[in-house]
């Protein structure tokens, strides 16, 4: 109840039982007077202002509670609920402790030591901020959709009718007036009918497929929700008639509020998505591997900080160097930093966030970030029919008129699938030459009609019954007869211009409302020609039964003989078999009692209109003029979308509450079934399916399936069985009754326009345009996002394998440490970050929707991919360590002169045993230059392997950066060559590479930053060496991709039924 929720509870406790009695009072089981007495209100005057304020205090606002948002602290903690992030946090803490221990030495190196842990902490903070921002941002699009449903009500207060009162201000006891098209603002007791009948569409709450008639009469107190015929429920819509009601329940006390509460409870338990599980498994495996490698590196180097002598065969005189022990522990920490892809959590979050933005542009609003990835492995789409596969806008598709002589009919096909009068035309239509028979059909369709069509921005919206709105659209397509529009003074921009012209010619003076017994509606009109007519429309059989004549093309009337009757009924049967809903038209002169009737209540004949029992006798001796076939037409783009699903290996199942024949006709038209396919085993009602012995086997049939007359429990059972069978299920729905199935499905898809708040709350994704093809586009986008995520995850992991190989080789060979932890951190975060993020912009593969869906248990890193990146990683290790050794041991390499800086050469043996330098006799090294600096080692030549390694270390770091930039080009496609997928297909990647190289140049050539990172500027020849050592990574991966393409048939097997059958 929003703000009023807490207040409500407190007042209920403090004010005794007074407020509570409204909640427990069974208004449906009491008559109107008892209800007035109980709520302390008069239907004529309504509540007083003072009473409204008092009840506001007790009941709060009439709105559904917004679910309590996750607290900021909980959101922050959730960002650290990730194995990778936790490893990173541990590495930061260890680095910080080591920096603190070393910090006693003070000076510049002491400050530098703190850079690494501080940067790791900064990464974690930024990642947490991105995650929190995205999770809070995902709900904003939904909030905008909620605005569409803002409601207003017409209320009686203090004897004055208040129009457009915000519905949230209603309280129990308010007297509300409802009209056609109104959305019911609260649970209310019907206390008076203004029209003779009242019908409400409450399918979203109860699952009933047809509008329900309401009455003022009390029912049994123990009646179920469908049996409460005198109650209108919040969120339902009035489709026919008008009435006065008394508010009985508001906010969370309404029926829709109770379901809302159940859904919120159900949403507390959610499983991790396939990707999250895989990343956690990867993180756990990484923790073990890091632990083993760190222990191995430490053991290899134990001789440097722990030595002993053997006396009498036993080790004695142990010597332990704490300083060297700490140094090698730092190397182990550097290994941990190298092995963890620090930027991965942030890059994944960024990629998913970019994906949700792309999907939003395609009208798919993603509520939960990880569901973007789950969409990519969808194997079954369970779709509702009405409004998703169809437009939910009734349209006339066929018009049948009388011929020029008895026993002949004329048939016209009508184009168009919406309420837009300009959408399509009538085939073979006599434009401007409408005969008398067609004019009469147009007149009845326009005037015997309570609906309206309005233009709202670019959409045309029906107000009232959709079937009646469709008839008015038909009248506009028929046009107005020549010479008859002299009465018009309307602007050309009028949506229903022809309907209004007919209304000007024929003034409506009385309405005989529709009722279920006679299945027709009639209006009496005072024609401009001076005659009074009765115009009738309704079910063809019923109208035909009360007809005695037919009107021919020229306007003449003939007696309705048996042949003509059979001909009309045969045509009706053919149209019904095509799932068309048919309405017939007829007219007659008004009965003699009404010859002078002008609509006045004082006229003697008016009494006959007050009792609907008289309507059948008034609507008798009719002249039949023709009929139309209407349907909820399929959306134009759906057929192609279903074909795309079939190509993509996704099965489509249609689950609808509509009747079987209508649903089958639509399924054939949109391609779920072939036109002449035998569907006796594929099309079942919900009840028939529940009686099937082997239900799972029925659901395993390839191709489309249809379930008609399905109730909410049937939907849930179908989804549950599919999930048990290992399918990844996307489920669409719009009603409150769909919410449990939406919650149960892997991806719940709610409708943004027609969907209830409860359905949206239960969903993972909301379709802003209610269109099935949007789901298919979203699946394609989900696949593309997953592929891109695999690309950058593999890219980052291959880079990390290279860094680990580099450090491991350094430790194994015993040469000086090539790169320090802060340099590795810089590479992982700054230089790897932009290309990894840019890989998220890779264009989708052209055949992305031609491949079968991946299995949800598919490995993120297959054995082949791991082998590939171990090969690449080993090359990275060899290249970074190799360039370090080359600088110390070679004056030139591959024709590139490296002696220009004047550095001294040493043998590989000396480099590998640099720790024994102090024992070497006559060891001297000459000074060398780096940029504007000169490094001299006269006082201590052994510093050449410590301070003097700065140039070799810079070369190693630059080779690592260059290799990883070229390696990002390899990640453009898993198996595709750079020849077929050149770098410029993703310009963002080229920009990212430029940014990363630019950042590397910044730390090389800005003196302060070079000092922090322990590097020096490089000469042109040294850059040539870097490129010569780095570029082969592209050739190596091209060879591996070629082998991958040759062996792909052996490595990928198609999805088999046995793979689906897994036990939960």
Fold of the 32-65+148-268 domain: 2.70.150
Q: Is the pLDDT score of 584 beyond 70?
A: yes
Match domain 364-389+634-770 to its CATH number in 3.90.1580.10, 3.40.50.1000, 3.30.70.141, 2.60.40.10: 3.40.50.1000
Per-residue pLDDT at 12: 36
Work out the pLDDT band at 128, boundaries 50, 70, 90: confident
Q: How far apart are the C-alpha atoms of 1041 and 1043, rounded to whole Å?
A: 5
Has domain 782-845+860-1050 been given CATH number 1.20.1110.10? yes
Q: Are 60 and 81 in contact (CB under 8 A)?
A: no
Over residues 675-695, mean pLDDT: 88
pLDDT digits (tens, 9 = 90+) for 362-410: 888 887 767 777 888 899 999 888 777 887 778 999 999 999 999 899 9
Higher-pLDDT residue of 313 and 933 is 933
User: What value, to the nearest 5°, has the Cα angle with vertex 278 and ends 277 and 280?
Assistant: 65
pTM, 2 dp? 0.66
Average confidence score pLDDT of the chain: 81
Please write the tens of the pLDDT for every residue from 729-751. Answer: 999 887 776 777 888 888 899 88
**204, 760 contact by CB (below 8 A):** no
Domain ranges in the chain are: 32-65+148-268, 364-389+634-770, 395-482+496-631, 782-845+860-1050
Q: Among residues 854, 856, 844, which one has the least CA distance to residue 777? A: 844
Active site positions, annotated? 384
Residues 6+ apart with CB under 8 A from 610: none
Give long-range contacts, CB 8 A cutoff, 24+ apart: 857-862: 857/274, 858/377, 859/278, 860/275, 860/278, 860/279, 860/282, 860/790, 860/793, 861/282, 861/793, 861/794, 861/797, 862/1051
Integer-rounded Cα Rg, in Å, for the chain is 39
Retrieve residue 1049's tokens: 């048939």
How many angstroms separate the CA atoms of 399 and 478, rounded? 10
Confidence band of 138 (pLDDT split at 50, 70, 90): very low
**pLDDT of the residue at 538:** 92
Q: CA-CA distance, 752 to 731, in Å (whole number)?
A: 14
| Strands 152-157 and 160-166, sheet pairing | antiparallel
Q: Output DSSP code: residue 299.
A: H
The 10s digit of each residue's pLDDT in 170-181 is 999 999 999 887
**Taken in order 186, 188, 193, 194, is the CA torsion positive or negative?**
negative
CATH of span 395-482+496-631: 3.40.1110.10
67-95 pLDDT per residue, tens: 666 677 777 777 676 666 776 677 677 77
Q: Which structure tokens are listed for 854?
A: 């991946």
Between 913 and 261, whose confidence is greater?
A: 913
Alpha-carbon distances, residue 335 vs 829, 885, 1014 (angstroms): 15, 20, 18
Which residues make Cβ contacts (< 8 Å) with residue 639, sequence separation at least 6?
Answer: 669, 670, 671
What band does 634 get if pLDDT is binned at 50, 70 and 90?
A: confident
pLDDT of residue 68: 63
The band of 7, judged by pLDDT with boundaries at 50, 70 and 90, is very low
């Amino acid at each position: 109840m929003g703000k009023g929720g807490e207040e409500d509870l407190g007042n209920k406790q403090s004010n005794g039982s007074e407020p509570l009695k409204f909640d427990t009072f069974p208004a449906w089981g009491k008559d109107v007077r008892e209800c007035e007495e109980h709520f302390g209100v008069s239907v004529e005057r309504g509540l007083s202002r003072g009473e409204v304020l008092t009840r506001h205090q007790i009941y709060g606002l009439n709105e559904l509670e917004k679910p309590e948002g996750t607290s900021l602290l909980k959101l922050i903690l959730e960002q650290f609920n990730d194995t990778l992030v936790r490893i990173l946090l541990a590495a930061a803490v260890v680095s910080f402790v080591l920096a603190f221990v070393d910090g006693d030495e003070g000076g510049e190196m002491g400050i530098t030591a703190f850079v690494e842990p501080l940067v790791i902490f900064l990464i974690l903070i930024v990642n947490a901020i991105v995650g929190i921002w995205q999770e809070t941002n995902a709900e904003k699009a939904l909030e905008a959709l909620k605005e569409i449903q803002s409601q207003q009500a017409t209320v009686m207060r203090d004897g004055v009718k208040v129009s457009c009162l915000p519905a949230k201000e209603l309280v129990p006891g308010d007297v509300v007036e409802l009209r056609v098209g109104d959305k019911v603002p609260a649970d209310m007791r019907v206390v008076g009918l203004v029209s003779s009948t009242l019908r409400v569409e409450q399918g979203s709450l109860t699952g009933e497929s047809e509008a329900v008639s309401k009455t003022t009469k009390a029912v049994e107190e123990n009646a179920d929700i469908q049996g409460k015929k005198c109650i209108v429920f919040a969120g339902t819509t009035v489709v026919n008639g008008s009435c006065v009601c008394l508010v009985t329940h508001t906010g969370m006390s309404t029926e829709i509020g109770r379901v809302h509460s159940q859904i919120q409870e159900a949403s507390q338990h959610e499983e991790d998505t396939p990707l999250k599980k895989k990343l956690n498994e990867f993180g756990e495996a990484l923790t073990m591997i890091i632990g083993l490698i760190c222990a191995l590196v430490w053991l290899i180097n134990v001789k440097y900080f722990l030595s002993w002598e053997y006396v009498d065969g036993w080790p004695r005189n142990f010597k332990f160097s704490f300083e060297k022990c700490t140094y090698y522990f730092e190397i182990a920490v550097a290994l941990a930093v190298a092995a963890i892809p620090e930027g991965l959590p942030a890059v994944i979050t960024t990629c998913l966030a970019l994906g949700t933005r792309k999907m939003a542009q395609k009208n798919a609003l993603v509520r939960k970030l990880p569901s973007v990835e789950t969409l990519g492995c969808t194997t079954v789409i369970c779709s509702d029919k009405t409004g998703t596969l169809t437009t939910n806008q009734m349209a006339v598709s066929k018009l049948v008129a009388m011929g020029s002589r008895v026993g002949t009919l004329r048939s016209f096909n009508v184009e168009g699938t919406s309420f837009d009068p300009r959408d399509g035309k009538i085939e073979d239509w006599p434009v401007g030459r409408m005969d008398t028979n067609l004019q009469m059909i147009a007149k009845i369709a326009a005037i015997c009609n309570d609906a309206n069509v309005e233009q709202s921005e670019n959409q045309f919206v029906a107000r009232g019954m959709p079937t009646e709105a469709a008839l008015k659209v038909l009248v506009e397509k028929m046009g107005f007869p020549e010479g008859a529009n002299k009465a018009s003074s309307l602007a050309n921009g009028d949506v229903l211009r022809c309907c209004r012209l007919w209304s000007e010619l024929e003034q409506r003076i009385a309405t005989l409302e529709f009722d279920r017994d006679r299945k027709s509606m009639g209006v009496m009109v005072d024609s401009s020609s001076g005659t009074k007519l009765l115009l009738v429309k309704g079910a063809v059989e019923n109208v035909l039964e009360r007809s005695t004549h037919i009107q021919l093309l020229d306007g003449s009337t003939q007696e309705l003989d048996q042949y003509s009757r059979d001909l009309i009924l045969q045509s009706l049967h053919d149209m019904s078999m095509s799932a068309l809903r048919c309405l017939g038209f007829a007219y007659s002169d008004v009965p003699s009692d009404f010859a002078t009737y002008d609509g006045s209540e004082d006229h003697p004949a008016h009494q006959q209109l007050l009792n609907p029992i008289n309507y059948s006798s008034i609507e008798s001796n009719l002249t039949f003029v023709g009929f139309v076939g209407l349907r909820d037409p399929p959306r134009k783009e759906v057929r192609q979308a279903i074909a795309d699903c079939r190509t993509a290996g996704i099965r489509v199942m249609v689950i609808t509450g509509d009747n079987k024949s209508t649903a089958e006709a639509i399924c054939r038209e949109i391609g779920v079934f072939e036109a002449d396919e035998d569907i006796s085993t594929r099309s079942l009602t919900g009840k028939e399916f529940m009686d099937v012995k082997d239900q799972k086997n029925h659901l395993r049939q390839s191709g489309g399936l249809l379930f008609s007359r399905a109730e909410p429990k049937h939907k849930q059972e179908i989804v549950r069985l599919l999930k048990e069978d290992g399918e990844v299920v996307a489920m669409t729905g719009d009603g409150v009754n769909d919410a449990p199935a939406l919650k149960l499905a892997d991806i719940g898809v709610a409708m943004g326009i027609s969907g209830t708040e409860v359905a949206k709350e239960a969903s993972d994704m909301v379709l802003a345009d209610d269109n099935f093809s949007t789901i298919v586009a979203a699946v394609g986008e989900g696949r593309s996002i997953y592929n891109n995520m695999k690309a950058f995850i593999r890219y980052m992991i291959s880079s990390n394998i290279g860094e680990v190989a580099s450090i491991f080789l350094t430790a194994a060979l015993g040469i000086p440490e090539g790169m320090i932890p802060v340099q590795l951190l810089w590479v992982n975060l700054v230089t790897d970050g932009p290309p990894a993020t840019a890989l998220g912009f890779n264009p989708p593969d052209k055949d992305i929707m031609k491949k079968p869906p991946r299995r949800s248990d598919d490995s993120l890193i297959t054995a082949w991919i791991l082998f590939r990146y171990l090969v690449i990683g080993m090359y990275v290790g060899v290249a970074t360590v190799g360039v370090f050794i080359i600088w110390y041991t070679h004056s030139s390499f591959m024709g590139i002169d490296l002696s220009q800086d004047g550095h001294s050469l040493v043998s590989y043996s000396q480099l590998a045993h640099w720790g024994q330098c102090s024992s070497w006799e006559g060891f001297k090294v000459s000074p060398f230059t780096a940029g504007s600096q000169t490094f001299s080692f006269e006082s201590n030549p052994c510093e050449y392997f410590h301070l003097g390694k700065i140039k070799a270390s810079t070369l190693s770091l630059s080779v690592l950066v260059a290799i990883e930039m070229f390696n990002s080009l390899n990640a453009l496609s898993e198996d595709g060559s750079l020849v077929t997928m050149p770098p410029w297909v993703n310009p963002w990647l080229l920009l990212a590479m430029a940014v990363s190289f630019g950042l590397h140049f910044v730390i090389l050539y800005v003196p302060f930053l070079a000092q922090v990172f322990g590097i020096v500027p490089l000469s042109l020849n040294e850059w040539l060496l870097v490129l010569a050592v780095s570029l082969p990574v592209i050739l190596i991966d091209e060879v591996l991709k070629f082998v991958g393409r040759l062996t792909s048939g052996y490595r990928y097997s198609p999805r088999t039924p046995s793979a689906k059958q897994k036990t939960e």
